Amino acid sequence: MTLPNVLEPTYLQMLKALSAWLGKAEAQRPDGGSEALLTARLAPDMFPLATQIRFACVQAQEGVFRLKGQEFPASLEALLNEGRTAIEFPGSMTDARARIDETIAVVEAVASEAFDVDPATPIAHALPSGMVFDFTAEQYARDWALPQFYFHVMIAYAILRAEGVDLGKADYVAHLFAYLRPGTMPS
């Protein structure tokens, strides 16, 4: 098992789930009622749904580019800035789902270029605050890339649930149904 083989499928399945949750929100709140969800937050000091979606996309793209040792494209900085300003400019559900689709395409493109990374490869991860984390590739994938990605995905899920969107565990683990043994689904 390689680090890219862990991250890429995880990013893809959860980004597709996130898009499906937004689709359910749109279906449950027709006539533009779902747009108000984009400014909803779990707590006053947390980013809104629009930011959580964009930051989940940023984390997925950063993860694959960083492990591959590639520079980030300018589009990633633009996405990050879009997330930072989503409080004032949340965009639309169409915009949010487009960002997810774009991220899925980026992750799939990187995945199509088979690569492996030595788990001991050093990765320095600098934050805008000036803090720098020194990881191995394995530590970065395990302790930063996946947890940060899941944080934003789960906050998005929690905001949607808190705002009354009818979601459940089956929506969260929809990718697991591909592994369900035939005839074992409760009726």
Query: Could you state, in order of their start, the residue ranges of all structural domains in the chain?
Result: 3-179
State residue 20's pLDDT score.
97
Q: What are 89-109's pLDDT values in tens digits? A: 999 999 999 999 999 999 999
Q: What are 131-153's pLDDT values in tens digits? A: 999 999 999 999 999 999 999 99
Q: List own/partner pairs for 11-15 with CB under 8 A and 24 or more apart.
A: 11/60, 11/63, 11/64, 11/103, 11/107, 11/149, 12/104, 12/107, 12/108, 12/111, 13/175, 14/56, 14/149, 14/150, 14/153, 14/175, 15/56, 15/57, 15/60, 15/100, 15/103, 15/104, 15/107
- Give the pTM: 0.93
Q: What are 42-74's pLDDT values in tens digits? A: 999 999 999 999 999 999 999 999 988 888 999
Classify domain 3-179 by CATH number.
Answer: 1.20.120.450
Q: Is the pLDDT of residue 28 over 90?
A: yes
pLDDT band at 1; cut points 50, 70, 90: low
State residue 184's pLDDT score.
92
